[in-house]
Structures are given as C-alpha cells and as structure tokens.
C-alpha cells in the first residue's frame, strides 16, 4: 500500500503499527492523489479550512503547522525554515484505502476500486535503496543548550512561566535520501501508533509519533498528551521508575491541567475529565508517560473551533501557553515548521483524528535540506545536562537510520 501510494505527488499514509487501544481509529489509512486542495499560511487559515471542509463534504487529509500559533495567539515568527511546508494544507483524495484486520475498504471515483486493489496487489514490495549516509549537525552545542536551559529556569523563577518545551534542530544540507526507504527503516526500528508517511510534492514528512493530539467522535473529544520519557533498560522492565519520578509526574500533570483548561473552552460545563493520569506505555526505545483527557463538545462547536481552542498542543509548548511560545521564539534558532504541528484527517461525518508531529524527519527534495527536532520540558527542577541527554535519546533512532 505504501509503495503504491508513493506514486502520487500528494499522499498521506497513516499507520498504527498494530498498537490497539480503546481509542484506536484504524490499522492503516491511506489517502492518495488530489481532487481538491487548500494551502494557506497563518492569517485566516483556519477560517478557510472550515469553509473548505464544509464545501468538500468528503474526507480531507493534511497537516497543521506549528506557526498557526501566529494566527491563533497573534504572535510572530522570524526564524528561517529550511523545509518550507506551508502552515496548513488539506486535500480531498482521489482514493482512500482503509485496512482493518483482514478487511480492505477502498473508496475511489467511477467504480475504480477493483482496479485500485489490483494495482496495490501488483506493486512490487521491493524496498528502495538508500543513498549515501547523511552527516547530521546540531543547531545547539551541548554548552549552548545548557546555557539556554539555565536562562529558561531564570524565567521560571521570575514567574514568566512554569514549564516550557525547548527544542533543538538536527539538520543536514545537500542531503540526498530516498524518503520511502528512510521511512521503512525508521518504521522497522521504531514502530509507533501515530506514524505517518506524508508527501506534498517535493516535501516529505516521515513521522514515527507515539502521541495523539486530538480526536473527535460524535460529541466526544479527547487528547492524550505525553510528558515523561525513560530509556528502556534491563533493570526496569515495566518503567516503574518513570512512574515514581516526581519531576516527570509534575511535568505531565502540568500539561494535563493545560489540556483540561483548553477543552473547557469548547466542552459542556462539568464534562471535562481525566480518564487516565500518568499511564506508563512501552515503545521500542523508551517508556512514555501518557494521560488521557476528554469531554463532551457544546452544541455548535466546529472542528476548527476545537483546533483554535487547543492548538498548538500543550505538550509541545508548556504553560502558560502564550508566554512560553514567545520564549520559544526568542531562544530557539529555527522555525519548527511542521514539527510540533499535526497530521491527520477529517471524515465526512465531522469526526477527526490528529497526531502530534514528533520523532519525525522533514525533507525538501528540491533544496535537499533535511531536518528533525527533539526537545524536552524545562521546569525549575530541570537538570540542564539531563535535558540535553533526553534530546539525544529521542534523536537516537533517526540518527542511526541516517547513518
């Protein structure tokens, strides 16, 4: 399915890697080809998305970039962006393929579903070859990153904020890769439940995300923020030391409070609740601490109203959200672009499911610029050296694949 979808200049391949939970949406969902599309930068992008979705009356797939914050919170961004995804892009696909267990469902125009199935089955499963190894550089040295963390701790001491997500860019210029080969390598090494292979002409997102941003089913809406990371090791087979780590729990609870506040703007009074607090989940390289917050939407709330109330997600900003986004702009050296944004879909019924774009490679094939970010949550209790090491841990799988 993935090899077939990559024939199209625009495609979105969403893979749960068979992580099943009570909130799972699909095993695998593919949108290929483009009948209609919307591309917009921050300014009036969400209003345009609302109109586009209403007029389409169909499935739409695409992304929300981090700098939509400028529209939502009246902020600004002046840093360079090497990959240059637009702030927002959604498209009505020519073909949708859904895989659930042993059942494949295909939606295509003009009764072409059977031909699509034959084309998929007939696509050779030959992994494309890698090109040369990619030499990765970092925007921050260890000393620079530690110094910025110390600066942020002073902001926390002054009361400017109480948690901030600081990210750094790893990058390569003149990088020649085969995006599909790299995605397959990353998927084999680090399968995650909100993975995405997303192509927009010459721009690629190779995403192995463990985190859901926002899901709506009927009037029910939920978010599952992640805060708390621990390398998997033999001495701690179930991640119990992460569960007992007071700093990591405090980070998670801070973000849960932020998400509760965001959802209360759009949900029925008294309906917002914490379904799970600080659950420990195992992934190939790490344990993650994940909470689930949900509520019942008020009448008249549109999907874009829900995005406006909750984006960017608190796990990628910190709190209070507006002030920490100003500090992120001040101390980070590059635009996040699609990193810290979201990829997913809206269904014809008004439901949607959107991930958090982390553990991801961004690549512009025309400029041959490759980028990925990692970050950590900074609180007053943070050890700057440990925060730097957490960034390296999160980057480890990608660096190995590129080497």
Give the catalytic positions in this structure.
211, 227
**Strand, coil or helix: what is 62?**
strand
**Residue 101 burial (CB < 10 Å; 0-12/13-18/19+)?**
exposed
**Residue 55 burial (CB < 10 Å; 0-12/13-18/19+)?**
exposed
Q: Which residues pair with 216 in a beta bridge?
A: 221, 352
Cα separation, 287 vs 93, whole angstroms: 36
Beta carbons within 8 Å of 294's beta carbon, 6+ residues apart = 220, 221, 222, 223, 263, 272, 273, 275
* 110-141 b/e (C-beta count within 10 Å ≥ 16 → b): eeebeebeeebeeeeeeeeeeeeebebebbbe
**Strand, coil or helix: what is 331?**
helix
Where are any strands of DSSP class E within 55-162? 60-64, 88-92, 95-100, 103-108, 137-138
> What are φ and ψ of residue 247, in 5° steps?
-65, -45
Q: Which region holds residue 263: left if phi is over 0, alpha if psi is between -120 and 50, else beta?
A: alpha
Q: E strand or H helix at 393, and its extent?
A: helix 384-402
Task: Report residue 203 CA to chain centroid gap.
Answer: 16
Cα separation, 43 vs 110, whole angstroms: 37
Cα-atom radius of gyration of the chain, to the nearest Å? 20
Closest CA to 298 of 263, 261, 259: 263
- The tokens describing 182, both together, are 């790299």
DSSP state of 287: E
**Residue 381 burial (CB < 10 Å; 0-12/13-18/19+)?**
exposed
């Amino acid at each position: 399915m993935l090899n077939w979808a990559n024939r199209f200049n625009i495609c979105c391949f969403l893979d749960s890697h068979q992580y099943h939970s009570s909130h799972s949406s699909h095993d695998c969902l593919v949108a290929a080809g483009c009948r209609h599309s919307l591309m917009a930068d921050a300014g009036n992008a969400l209003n345009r998305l609302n109109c586009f979705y209403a007029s389409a009356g169909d499935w739409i797939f695409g992304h929300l970039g981090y700098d939509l914050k400028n529209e939502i919170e009246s902020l600004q961004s002046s840093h360079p962006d090497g990959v240059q995804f637009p702030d927002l892009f959604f498209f009505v696909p020519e073909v949708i393929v859904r895989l659930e267990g042993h059942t494949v469902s295909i939606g295509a125009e003009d009764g072409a579903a059977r031909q699509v199935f034959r084309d998929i089955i007939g696509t050779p499963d030959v992994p494309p070859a890698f090109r040369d190894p990619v030499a990765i550089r970092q925007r921050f040295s260890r000393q620079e990153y530690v110094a910025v963390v110390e600066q942020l701790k002073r902001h926390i001491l002054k009361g400017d904020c109480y948690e901030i997500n600081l990210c750094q860019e790893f990058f390569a210029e003149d990088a020649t890769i085969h995006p599909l080969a790299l995605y397959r390598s990353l998927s084999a090494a680090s399968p995650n439940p909100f993975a995405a292979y997303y192509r927009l002409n010459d721009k690629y997102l190779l995403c192995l995300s463990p985190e859901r941003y926002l899901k709506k089913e009927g009037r029910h809406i939920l978010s599952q923020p992640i805060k708390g990371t621990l390398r998997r090791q033999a001495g701690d087979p179930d991640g119990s030391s992460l569960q007992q780590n007071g700093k990591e729990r405090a980070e998670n609870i801070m973000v849960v409070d932020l998400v509760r506040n965001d959802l209360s703007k759009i949900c029925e009074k008294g309906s917002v609740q914490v379904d799970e607090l600080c659950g420990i989940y195992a992934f190939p390289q790490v344990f993650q601490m994940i909470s689930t917050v949900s509520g019942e939407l008020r009448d008249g709330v549109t999907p874009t109203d829900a995005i406006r109330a909750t984006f960017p997600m608190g796990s990628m900003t910190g709190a209070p959200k507006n002030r920490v986004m100003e500090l992120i702009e001040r101390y980070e050296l590059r635009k996040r672009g699609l990193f810290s944004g979201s990829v997913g879909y809206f269904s014809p019924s008004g439901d949607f499911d959107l991930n958090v774009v982390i553990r991801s490679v961004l690549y512009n094939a025309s400029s041959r610029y490759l980028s990925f970010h990692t970050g950590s949550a900074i609180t007053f209790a943070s050890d700057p050296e440990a925060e730097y090491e957490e960034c390296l841990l999160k980057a480890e799988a990608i660096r190995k694949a590129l080497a």
